[in-house]
């Protein structure tokens, strides 16, 4: 059994085999669920909704070296991502490194998604060992954390959210603080340079990783660190405990600001673009969770009856959010932690009521007389309660939204709750096995075998409960690959008709990012042509809110017969019409007018896209376009691409 001391030294020589097993099992579960032997790694495994801009990020860092400028989007001015500030440097570094190592941005995207499973498992394993879980229970709980329903629901469309491997690292800091352990300082018993490799260095490195990976995760960790610091400070009446938490939290905030510094400087130099990053306060409740959602099966459950139960709930009850669900075993852990809170409250009240006022009755232990494991469970329960209060509908997340609407998807704090819940399950099973061993006194081999059987049962149940059906995965991949092949062929033919550096106008104007067209289509689709071409520019993809990005919104208001000449005068070589994104008025006017002026369009096999070359526009027609017309497209600013 792992005691507190064992859990506090997770990087001992005896644990390397554990971490190797955790990585191997979690990776095997991921590969099995994804049916990778039947998948084409060179095709993004998802190509809908937010998976499209994620793919564009990977392609951009592969082509440009970083994600903030892409001259082939928002043509002819280029895409500037500074108007959509983010603190996700770690993810973009991973995209850059993998892209250049593997030589293909799509392969890099898929590989990063797969790597998220063992990385999450390894980080969770460290947290669990610090919490005091035994090795065998750590193996089971860490793997289950890696394959949470959250991982599959977010998937490639929210790849950077699905890459939640930094969360357990940050929660190690919170756990140490709440237990009254130091998080800053030198390495004990070492001398010279070796002294640097202590808790302080660990905390600093974790702070950099947490502050550089995702804003949501950084905020969640900050909330847990703040809670831990307050609890430890009040309990121990120690300013040192609280100040250590303050310094840890401040370091994360500073790293986040450093990550966004170039975005802040860009806004200062060019003016704020409030339309580029839009959030509204009510989103805090649209994207929160409900207790029932956490406890019910997830909608992708392998057992159809359980999947149908959740889908029926989602269909008839409001506030779908992002389909939050814990899975059976983490849900039991959540209930266990809530039970711990209730038990501690009742136990403490009973002790006070039955005491003489001067001392506790002998038959009742004092409330603080807890084992290391019980104390950890109690502290995890407190942290879980706070996380729950932030994530639940109408909770503290809603209060925060009254002051800032930057964060909206508070349901994502489920990755914090799930880790605490799985730690509770692991610690509870360890306690049960220890109690059984004291009574039955089995031989060591028998004890190990029983623990192994329990861990295996957890893994089997968790795999069936928390992962999608392989058949569902295979069907989705086949659909994606077929669509990708069709668009590769179609846009490849457009690319072959153009010279490198040429660009095309995309109609209708689709404000990017995070918008939907009146027809219901996702404006992220405006990036599809870019994903299937090389060296060809497209007007879509500029961050909405600036004239350089929105100019095609002015162009589409011109009479249909005038659009080709104006587009050609602006420097475009073609016009691409997205029929799915076009309202009826545009469909009634544009195809016939463009065909009459430019000839028969090149149409995609699915009928969605039509492309007209602007070669038919004569130089004289281009010259007749008054410069003031082009300036008007930029809302009066000079047309200077």
Pair (119, 264) in one structural domain: yes
Q: What angle is formed at CA 128 by the lines to CA 122 and CA 134, rounded to 5 degrees?
A: 110
Whether 336 and 446 share a structural domain: yes
- Give residue 360's pLDDT: 43
Q: Which residue among 410, 442, 468 closes a domain? A: 468
Rounded (5°) CA angle 146-149-153 = 110
In a domain, 50, yes or no: no
Q: Are residues 259 and 382 in the same domain?
A: yes
Q: Are residues 191 and 271 in the same domain?
A: yes
pLDDT tier for residue 5 given thresholds of 50, 70 and 90: very low
Residue 117 belongs to some domain of the structure? yes
Q: Do 588 and 624 have their domain in common?
A: yes
Report the mean per-residue pLDDT for the chain.
91
Question: pLDDT for 179-231, tens place per residue?
Answer: 999 998 776 665 556 566 678 899 999 999 999 999 999 999 999 999 999 99
CA distance 319 to 323: 9
- Domain match, 504 and 593 both: yes
DSSP 501-542: T-EEEEES---BSS-B-TTS-BGGGGGHHHHT-SS-EESTTS
**Alpha carbon 269 to its chain's center:** 30
Q: Are residues 139 and 268 in the same domain?
A: yes
Say whether pLDDT at 357 is over 50.
no
With left for phi above 0 and alpha for psi between -120 and 50, is residue 189 left, alpha or beta? left
Please tell me the distance from the alpha carbon of residue 504 to that of residue 500, in angstroms, as a whole number. 12
pLDDT of residue 637: 78
The span from the CA of 39 to the CA of 61, in Å, is: 24
Give the HSE-up count for residue 333: Cα atoms under 13 Å, Cβ half-sphere.
28
Kindly state the average pLDDT of the residues 287-301: 96
Final residue of a domain: which of 436, 468, 500? 468
Q: Do 400 and 546 belong together in one domain? A: no
Close Cβ partners of 179 (under 8 Å, ≥ 6 residues apart): 232, 375, 376, 379
Neighbours of 65 (CB within 10 A): 11
- Which of 455, 456, 464 is CA-nearest to residue 128? 455
156 and 16 in one domain?
Answer: yes
Domain shared by 384 and 513, yes or no: no
* Structural domain containing residue 11: 4-42+104-354+366-468
Entry pTM: 0.92
Predicted local confidence at residue 189, as pLDDT: 61
Q: Please count the structural domains in the chain.
A: 2
Q: Does residue 350 lie within any of the structural domains?
A: yes
The reply to whether 121 and 253 lie within a common domain is yes
If asked whether residues 339 and 440 sit together in one domain, one would say yes
Left (φ > 0), alpha (ψ -120 to 50) or beta: where does 35 sit? left
CA angle 592, 596, 598 (to 5 degrees): 110
- What is the model's pLDDT at position 140? 98
Reduced DSSP (H G I as helix, E B as strand, rest coil) percent helix, strand, coil of the chain, to 5: 65, 5, 30
Answer with the one of 417, 445, 468 that is the final residue of a domain: 468
């Amino acid at each position: 059994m792992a005691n507190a001391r064992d859990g506090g030294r997770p990087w001992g020589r005896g644990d390397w085999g554990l971490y190797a097993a955790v990585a191997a099992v979690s990776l095997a579960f991921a590969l099995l669920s994804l049916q990778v032997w039947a998948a084409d790694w060179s095709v993004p495994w998802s190509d809908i909704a937010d998976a499209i801009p994620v793919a564009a990020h990977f392609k951009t860092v592969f082509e440009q070296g970083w994600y903030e400028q892409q001259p082939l989007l928002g043509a002819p001015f280029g895409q500037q991502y500074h108007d959509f500030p983010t603190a996700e440097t770690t993810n973009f570094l991973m995209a850059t490194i993998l892209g250049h190592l593997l030589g293909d941005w799509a392969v890099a995207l898929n590989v990063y998604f797969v790597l998220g499973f063992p990385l999450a498992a390894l980080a969770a394993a460290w947290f669990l060992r610090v919490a005091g879980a035994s090795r065998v229970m750590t193996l089971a709980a860490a793997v289950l954390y890696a394959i949470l329903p959250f991982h599959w629901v977010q998937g490639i469309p929210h790849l950077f959210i699905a890459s939640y491997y930094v969360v357990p690292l940050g929660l190690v800091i919170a756990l140490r603080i709440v237990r009254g352990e130091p998080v800053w300082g030198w390495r004990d018993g070492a001398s010279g340079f070796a002294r640097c490799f202590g808790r302080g260095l660990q905390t600093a490195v974790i702070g950099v990783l947490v502050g550089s990976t995702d804003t949501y995760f950084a905020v969640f960790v900050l909330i847990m660190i703040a809670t831990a610091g307050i609890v430890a400070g009040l309990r121990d009446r120690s300013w040192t405990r609280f100040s250590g938490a303050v310094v840890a939290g401040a370091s994360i905030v500073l790293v986040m600001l450093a990550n966004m510094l170039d975005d802040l400087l860009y806004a200062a130099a060019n003016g704020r673009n409030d339309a580029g990053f839009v959030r509204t306060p009510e989103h805090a409740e649209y994207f929160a969770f409900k207790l029932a959602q956490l406890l019910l099966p997830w909608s992708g459950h392998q057992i159809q009856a359980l999947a149908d139960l959740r889908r029926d709930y989602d269909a008839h009850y409001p506030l779908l959010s992002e389909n939050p669900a814990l899975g059976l075993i983490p849900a039991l852990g959540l209930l266990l932690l809530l039970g711990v809170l209730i038990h501690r409250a009742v136990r403490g009240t009973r002790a006070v009521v039955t005491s003489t006022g001067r001392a506790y009755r002998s038959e009742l232990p004092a409330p603080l007389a807890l084992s290391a494991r019980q104390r950890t469970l109690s502290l995890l329960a407190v942290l879980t309660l706070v996380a729950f209060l932030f994530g639940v509908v109408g909770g503290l997340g809603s209060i925060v939204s009254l002051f800032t609407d930057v964060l909206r998807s508070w349901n994502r704090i489920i990755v914090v709750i799930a880790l605490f819940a799985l730690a509770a399950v692991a610690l509870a099973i360890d306690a049960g096995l220890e109690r059984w061993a004291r009574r039955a006194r089995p031989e060591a081999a028998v004890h190990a075998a029983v623990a192994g059987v329990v861990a295996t049962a957890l893994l089997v149940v968790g795999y069936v409960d928390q992962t999608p059906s392989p058949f569902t995965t295979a069907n989705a991949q086949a659909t994606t690959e077929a669509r990708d092949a069709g668009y590769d062929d179609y846009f490849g033919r457009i690319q072959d008709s153009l010279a490198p550096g040429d660009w095309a106008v995309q109609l209708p104007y689709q404000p990017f990012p995070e918008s939907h067209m009146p027809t219901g289509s996702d404006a992220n689709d405006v990036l599809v042509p870019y994903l299937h071409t090389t060296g060809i520019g497209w007007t879509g993809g500029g961050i909405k809110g600036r004239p350089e990005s929105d100019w095609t919104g002015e162009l589409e208001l011109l009479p249909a017969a005038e659009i080709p000449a104006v587009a050609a005068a602006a420097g475009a070589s073609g016009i691409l019409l997205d029929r799915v994104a076009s309202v009826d008025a545009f469909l009634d006017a544009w195809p016939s007018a463009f065909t009459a002026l430019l000839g028969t369009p090149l149409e995609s096999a699915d009928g969605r896209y039509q492309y007209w070359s602007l070669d038919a526009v004569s130089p004289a027609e281009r010259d007749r376009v008054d410069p003031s017309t082009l300036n008007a497209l930029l809302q009066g600013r000079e047309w200077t691409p």
